[in-house]
């Protein structure tokens, strides 16, 4: 097996290092970083617009370029999330929670540098897992059926509800709201419209980009309307020294990076999961294992490196079900499959045997592309940090323009622009009443999946819900979910008890307080 892997690696390198492959890989990762930084465009819209160009390219060149755009946006998306609290991609939305506070503390350079390193490490681990354990991951994916997927999604939703640092009840409420938004549209089983209220545009449901742009980006613009000044950084703080992390930053980062890479690699290899779920789950895990969870949401470096490692690892391993099983894990992966079919190549188990140069050439291009991204991003961090110095009254109208153009370009409808504005107002209101927006996004993504797999499982079992407990893997996920709920409940009770102890008057002070009150009343 090792000898075969070496032979395939050499074959893939020879294909990936061809001049044309290198050129299109560079074009892809550069364009991917660019559209990731600019709010609202994203990989989906960019790849959709570039599909006609792939007619004139070789299959390897087309796939290398589109793949570079796909995982390149993860690097660029974190830049916008950290600097402007504006997620360039759905998977980088969770990075806003701690990345933006770091930028406000004058540590934007460190945050961007560490996310670049975490992204590269996560992607590298994902590629290694894809190369070595691809057959194993394929077997795991094939052994999963509707009950296992339902239990996995429920576990993800419960984990998402714990992302908030204030109250898990608020987190659950936002998850439920996200689920409701996710089921708006056409029922995939019956073809009937649900919760559309006669609005034709809602038959296709809300778009992830519109909700993310509105609830995070526009909400930030609204809350900053009165701040007609630049960021907290000065020209002196933008340099190589501002990008060097402290020993404490490194100490706090390396384990979360490894945990995030492991989580992202596993979740990304599951059909239908993806980088967004991986990043949210990784963030929830870090909050659970942290000694001081209260640091999260206030600039904890673990809160940015773990999700970034996870979503980049997931971006790499997402190609496992796409290329080896022909099962797209997302709409973007579906576009990748469409490009292959355009060139007469059928994705699936036979692809690795019939087109080894294409399969392993794409895999080896991931190494080359991520090295290019690291080289491109680290020297340019100073340029991205300088964005914070642009006055808000100049920067934010441009952000709104790019967000509206990007959202409009997906379906070419003004309804999506109106949706962005509406969710911007909703996000601002949620910020005022201290409700977290991040769980809403994961509820929106997972809600339709939970419903679909639940209904499929009940069809298989003829309506018997015991199917979720009879299958070992499904039962394992449900037990983990129950453990998360019990742990969160215990933490809530403990924190409530600690607050009562702190707020309780000390013995002997009650009488003194009463005398002071009587004296004040007599006066």
3-state secondary structure of 193: strand
Cα 241 to chain center, whole Å? 29
> Tell me: the pLDDT tens digits for 461-514?
888 888 989 888 889 889 988 887 887 778 777 777 776 766 665 555 554 454
Q: For CA atoms 156, 159, 165, 166, give the dihedral sign.
A: positive
For residue 301, the SS3 value is coil
Task: Using DSSP, state whether 145 is helix, strand or coil.
Answer: coil
Give the C-alpha separation, 212 to 87, whole Å. Answer: 7
Give 216's DSSP letter: I
| Alpha-carbon distances of 312 from 32, 209, 432, rounded to whole Å | 13, 19, 32
Number of domains in the chain: 1
Residues β-bridged to residue 194: 185
Alpha-helical segments (H) within 105-167: 108-132, 134-143, 146-161
- What is the predicted pLDDT for the residue at 382? 61
Specify whether the CB–CB gap between 441 and 211 falls below 8 A: yes
Bridge partners for 185 per DSSP: 194
Full domain range(s) for residue 279: 2-144+209-415
**Domain assignment of residue 442, yes or no:** no
Q: Among the listed ranges 62-71, 90-99, 466-475, 498-507, which one has the minimum average pLDDT value?
A: 498-507
411 burial level (CB within 10 Å; 0-12, 13-18, 19+): middle
For the ranges 222-231, 247-256, 357-366, 400-409, which has the lowest average pLDDT?
A: 222-231
Alpha-carbon 397 to chain mean position: 25
- Residue 157, both tokens: 């939703």
Burial annotation 422-443 (CB, 10 A radius, 16+ → b, else e): bbbebbbebbeeebbbbbbbbb
Give tens-digit pLDDT for 408-419.
Answer: 776 778 888 888
Q: In sequence order, what DSSP letters do the residues of 385-398 get, joined into one string?
A: HGGGGS-HHHHHHH
| Token digits of residue 426 | 């909703």
Residue 454, pLDDT above cutoff 80: yes
Name the helix (H) or strand (E) containing 194: strand 193-194
Chain center to CA of 317: 14
The backbone torsions φ and ψ at residue 194, rounded to the nearest 5 degrees and listed phi first, read -130, 130
**Backbone dihedral region for residue 198 (phi beyond 0: left; psi -120 to 50: alpha; all else: beta):** left
Sign for the pseudo-dihedral over CA of 366, 95, 420, 228 = negative
Confidence class for position 399, pLDDT limits 50, 70, 90 = low
Q: In 3-state terms, what secondary structure has residue 186?
A: strand
The position carrying tokens 């819900």 is 465
Pairwise pLDDT comparison (388 vs 68), residue with the higher score:
68
d(CA 372, CA 155): 36
Q: What is the CA radius of gyration of the chain?
A: 24
At residue 254, the 3 state secondary structure works out as helix
Question: Is residue 421 situated within a structural domain?
Answer: no
pLDDT, tens digit, 9 for 90 and up, residues 359-378: 888 888 999 998 988 887 77
pTM summary value:
0.63
Average pLDDT, the chain: 77
**What is the rounded distance in angstroms from the CA atom of residue 335 to the CA atom of residue 101?**
36
Q: How many whole angstroms separate alpha carbon 196 and alpha carbon 401?
A: 28
Q: pLDDT digits over 12-50, tens only?
A: 888 888 899 899 999 998 888 877 776 656 676 677 667
Output the CA torsion sign for 406, 409, 413, 416. negative
Is residue 306 in a domain?
A: yes
Contacts of 239 (CB under 8 A, 6+ apart): 109, 382
- In a domain, residue 481? The reply is no
Averaged pLDDT, 130-142: 68
Residue 462 lies in a domain: no
* CA gap 29, 51 in Å, rounded: 16
411 domain residue, yes or no: yes
Joined together, the tokens standing for residue 478 give: 């449900």
pLDDT over 50 (residue 357): yes
Note whether 114 and 249 are within 8 A (CB): yes
In a domain, 492, yes or no: no
Q: What does the alpha-carbon distance between residue 20 and residue 2 come to, in Å, rounded to a whole number?
A: 29
The whole-angstrom separation of Cα 117 and Cα 101 is 19
Asked whether residue 291 carries a pLDDT value surpassing 50, the answer given is yes
Q: Is residue 82 part of a domain?
A: yes
User: How far is it, in rounded angstroms, from Cα 464 to Cα 141?
Assistant: 24
- Could you give the angle at which helices 108-132 and 2-16 cross, rounded to 10 degrees? 120
Among 4-8, 23-27, 148-152, 396-400, the range with the most confident prediction by mean pLDDT is 23-27
């Amino acid at each position: 097996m090792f000898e075969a892997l070496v032979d395939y690696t050499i074959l893939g390198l020879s294909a990936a290092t061809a001049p044309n492959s290198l050129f299109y890989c560079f074009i892809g990762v550069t364009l991917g970083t660019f559209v990731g930084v600019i709010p609202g465009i994203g990989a989906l819209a960019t790849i959709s617009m570039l599909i006609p160009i792939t007619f004139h390219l070789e299959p390897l060149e087309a796939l290398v370029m589109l793949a570079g755009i796909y995982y390149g946006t993860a690097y660029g998306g974190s830049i916008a999330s950290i600097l402007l609290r504006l997620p360039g991609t759905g998977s980088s939305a969770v990075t806003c929670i701690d990345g933006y506070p770091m930028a406000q503390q004058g540590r934007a350079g460190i945050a961007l540098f560490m996310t670049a390193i975490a992204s590269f490490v996560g992607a590298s681990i994902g590629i290694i897992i894809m190369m070595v354990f691809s057959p194993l991951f394929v077997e795991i994916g094939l052994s999963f059926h509707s009950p296992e997927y339902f239990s996995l999604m429920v576990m993800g939703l419960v984990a998402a509800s714990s992302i908030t640092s204030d109250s898990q009840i608020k987190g659950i409420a936002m998850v439920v709201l996200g689920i409701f938004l996710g089921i708006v549209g056409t029922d995939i089983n019956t073809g009937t419209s649900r919760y559309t209220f006669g609005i034709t545009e809602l038959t296709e449901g809300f778009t992830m980009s519109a909700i993310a742009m509105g609830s995070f980006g526009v909400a930030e613009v609204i809350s900053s309307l009165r701040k007609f000044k630049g960021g907290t950084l000065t020209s002196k703080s933008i340099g190589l020294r501002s990008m060097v992390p402290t020993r404490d930053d490194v100490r706090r980062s390396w384990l979360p990076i490894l945990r995030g890479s492991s989580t992202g690699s596993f979740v990304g290899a599951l059909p239908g999961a993806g980088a967004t779920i991986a990043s949210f789950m990784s963030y929830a895990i870090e909050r659970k294992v942290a000694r001081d969870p209260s640091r999260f949401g206030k600039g904890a470096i673990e809160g940015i490196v773990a999700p970034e490692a996870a979503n980049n690892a997931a971006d790499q391993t997402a190609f496992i079900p796409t290329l080896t099983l022909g099962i797209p894990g997302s709409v973007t992966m579906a576009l990748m499959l469409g490009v292959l079919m355009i060139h007469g190549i059928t994705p699936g188990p036979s692809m690795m045997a019939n087109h080894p140069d294409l399969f392993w050439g794409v895999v080896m291009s991931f190494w080359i592309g991520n090295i290019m991204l690291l080289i491109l991003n680290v020297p340019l961090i100073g340029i991205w940090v300088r964005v914070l110095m642009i006055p808000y009254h100049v920067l934010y109208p441009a952000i709104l323009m790019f967000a509206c153009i990007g959202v409009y370009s997906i379906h070419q409808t003004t309804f999506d622009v109106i949706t962005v504005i509406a969710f911007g107002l909703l996000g601002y209101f949620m910020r005022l009443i201290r409700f977290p927006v991040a769980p809403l996004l994961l509820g929106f993504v997972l809600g339709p999946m939970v419903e679909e797999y639940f209904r499929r499982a009940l069809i298989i079992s003829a309506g018997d819900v015991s199917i979720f407990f009879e299958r070992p893997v499904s039962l394992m996920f449900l037990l983990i979910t129950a453990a998360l709920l019990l742990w969160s409940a215990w933490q809530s009770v403990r924190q409530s008890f600690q607050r009562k102890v702190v707020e309780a008057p000390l013995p002997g002070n009650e009488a003194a307080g009463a005398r002071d009150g009587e004296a004040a009343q007599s006066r």
